[in-house]
Structure 1
Amino acid sequence: MELLVVIAIIAILAALLLPALTSARERGKSITCVNNLKQLGACTTFYCDDNSGWLPRPGQLIGSDGKPTGQWQDHLIAYTGVPLKDRCWQEVLNTSGEYLPKKLFDCPSTSGVIPYGEDHDYGRNAYNTISGKNGDFLPKIRYASRRVYLGDIFNDSSLTGSSAFYNLSMAGYSQLTFRHAGLVNILYLDGHAVSRVRPAIPVKNDYFYGDWPESNYY
């Protein structure tokens, strides 16, 4: 009888503590995610230093030589400490085309293995591109502390855009996602990373996204 009472007490305590433990575990994952974004911000600074102040372009283009220019992850992987022979931001796991994002490109709150080419844990602001250019010229950007650069995104094969995100009003396009207990982690162009609730993220374009006439933010 006494043993049953002890077991019942343990079960009650476990039921009370489990939500708190789950919340603490998710908070730890969110902190790791924020640190990933901060380090990717540092990698971006190094990239800009090596490329006359230009940010890597959000998506992939075909260059004048007919070869792909690479996505923003492809440009930053060289600054993450990955050996030269392994410089791909995703690790292909099998012949079925499943992969895992590598190191800083892997948000710990995502499910892990995903179909090749259909998903990204982090996306780059699609509006950070000067008309006719391959990216944005970082030294001349105004309001860098208010303008988002990278963030958590949800993206699959049914959405337009892969490595970049659009504002929350763009149905059918990849967008920021609030996967950390209702929070989204984002990195601003000045290098600081934070967690934000949905009401704090503008639905349509303003200085947060930067989709203004170029004269307004340069």
Structure 2
Amino acid sequence: MKVVRHFSLVELLIVCSIIMILAALLVPALNQARSNAKSTICLNNQRQILMILQMYGMDHNEIPIKYWSKALLETQYVPPSDNVSLFCPTWYPPNELGNHHQTYGMRQIEEEVHSFVNVQTPSTHVLIADSIRLNPDDPQDGMKQYFRFYGNTGQHMNRVHCRHQRKANVGFMDGHVESCSGQELENFGCPKYAY
């Protein structure tokens, strides 16, 4: 005679609890891996943007600061149909903030344009970074895409945004990109500013 063995309730509960413990251990690791992958995509996007900006700068002898992505799209350096590199995959701004104008910003300087010739140390000169504009309703601001290294009120609402595990992805004038904390950016001569 064949004996059929069934699970007891205790055995079933033990198996379920083991599965839940394993899931609880794996989910944070999977989320961390997903976050690292998005940060890597963002770094790659910034590297692409820097190469395109260098090409634009060689052709036009300058890079516009306030509407740089608009200039790249209008001049077809970035095809409008393939503008995914202008978006950070981690940051999804609210609809009222607009589109690519809000995810990467360019460092504002006193001049209206950047010039590769005038920078003394391009390997430490931050050009673009993850950024956020905190006051989208400001009619004076429009869709300007820049950030400042000072202040956090009034006209100084455009900030670098540390959205990749408390770090901001940053592109330097020489074309390299890094993930930097606020302290690391201060070491590059950037005052404390991160949001």
**TM norm structure 1:** 0.71
CA–CA separation in structure 2 for the residues paired with 1:193 and 1:110 = 18
Is there any run of 5+ residues in structure 2 with no aligned partner, and where? 1-8
The alignment status of 1:142 with 2:150, answered yes or no, reads no
Aligned to 2:69: 73
Say if 2:131 and 2:159, in contact at 8 Å, map to a contact too.
yes
Aligned to 2:145: 163
Q: Post-superposition shift, 1:195? A: 0.1
Question: How many residues were matched structurally?
Answer: 172
CA–CA separation in structure 1 for the residues paired with 2:108 and 2:168 = 17
Deviations 1:64-94 (A, max 9, x none): xxxxxxx1001223222x2xxx47x9xxxxx
Task: Give me the CA root mean square deviation.
Answer: 2.5
Runs of 4+ aligned residues of structure 1 deviating over 3 Å after TM superposition are 116-119, 158-162, 206-209
CA–CA separation in structure 1 for the residues paired with 2:22 and 2:120 = 53
CA–CA separation in structure 2 for the residues paired with 1:112 and 1:153 = 11
Which stretch shifts more, 36-45 or 194-203? Answer: 194-203
Aligned to 2:130: 152
Deviations 1:165-206 (A, max 9, x none): 001x41122111110011100000000000011211229xx7
Q: Post-superposition shift, 1:121? A: 0.4
Q: Post-superposition shift, 1:126? A: 0.7
3-state SS of 1:187 partner: strand
The alignment status of 1:27 with 2:36, answered yes or no, reads yes
Aligned to 1:109: 90
Higher Cα radius of gyration = 2
Q: Post-superposition shift, 1:208? A: 4.6
Aligned equivalent of 1:189, options 152, 163, 173? 173
Amino acid at match of 1:171: N
The alignment status of 1:201 with 2:180, answered yes or no, reads no
Aligned equivalent of 1:38, options 43, 47, 66? 47
Deviations 1:14-42 (A, max 9, x none): 11111111111100000000000000001
Q: Percent identity?
A: 26
| CA spacing shift, 1:8–1:207, aligned 2, 3 Å | closer
Amino acid at match of 1:202: E
| CA spacing shift, 1:147–1:164, aligned 2, 3 Å | same
Is there any run of 5+ residues in structure 1 with no aligned partner, and where? 60-70, 90-101, 210-218
Amino acid at match of 2:147: F
More helix by share: 2
Deviations 1:83-121 (A, max 9, x none): xxx47x9xxxxxxxxxxxx41111010125522548600
| CA spacing shift, 1:158–1:202, aligned 2, 3 Å | farther
**TM norm structure 2:** 0.78
CA–CA separation in structure 1 for the residues paired with 2:178 and 2:46 = 9
